[in-house]
Amino acid sequence: MQSANRPGRTAPKRLQPVVELVPEGVDPDEDGYGDDEFDAYDDADLLRVVCPDCVQPIALLADQEVLPEHALCASPWNPFGLTVCAGTGRAAADARSADEVLQERTQDIAPVLTLPQGLDWRTQPFSHVGGPGSRPVYLVRPAQVSATVRRAA
């Protein structure tokens, strides 16, 4: 049947609802997946440790006894100059847990971020008011410079 609003187009056909087929003898869970499916990531216990040489977090499997081969970027401005870290192959027992290192860092930062007792940040003046750069800079136009040079000569 032709559409009255748009000649040359046909009216859309009604779509039949899709019936999901359930295989016989299978009782799916509430999420639709069976528990007995094999998943390679289910039994992998990962630990995050910090390499003692490069101080970078590394993921280890629970049964690994040595640190895996990992790269060391000597300079962030040259990411293509990667080298193998000297900590590669070290015993995993030498590496500390990444959670411990994170807790130590947050404890070190706390005194820096807290203000002294009598200091309230809302009553402090802005440090940039009245300093250099707080007033607009006026540039001398080249036409004015050449006129000034001619008068002096």
Q: How would you write the pLDDT of the chain (153 residues) with one tens digit per residue?
A: 566 666 666 766 777 777 777 667 666 555 555 555 655 555 567 888 889 888 888 888 888 889 999 888 888 888 888 899 998 999 988 888 877 766 666 666 667 777 777 777 777 766 556 666 666 677 777 765 555 555 655
pLDDT for the residue numbered 106 = 64
Residues of the domain holding 77: 46-114
101 dihedral zone (left: phi>0; alpha: psi -120 to 50; beta): alpha
Residue 18, in any domain of the structure: no
Q: How far is CA 103 from CA 31, 38, 85, in A?
A: 36, 36, 25
pLDDT for the residue numbered 14 = 76
pLDDT for the residue numbered 117 = 77
How far is the first Cα of the chain from the last one, in angstroms, to the nearest whole number? Answer: 93
pLDDT for the residue numbered 26 = 63
Residue 53, in any domain of the structure: yes
pLDDT for the residue numbered 150 = 59
Give the ranges where 28-141 is alpha helix by DSSP (H): 98-113
Residue 122, in any domain of the structure: no
pLDDT for the residue numbered 63 = 85
Report the domain count for the chain: 1
pLDDT for the residue numbered 75 = 83
Residue 26, in any domain of the structure: no
CB 87: neighbour CB atoms within 10 A? 22
Residue 58, in any domain of the structure: yes
Residue 125, in any domain of the structure: no
Residue 101, in any domain of the structure: yes
Residue 83, in any domain of the structure: yes
pLDDT for the residue numbered 2 = 61
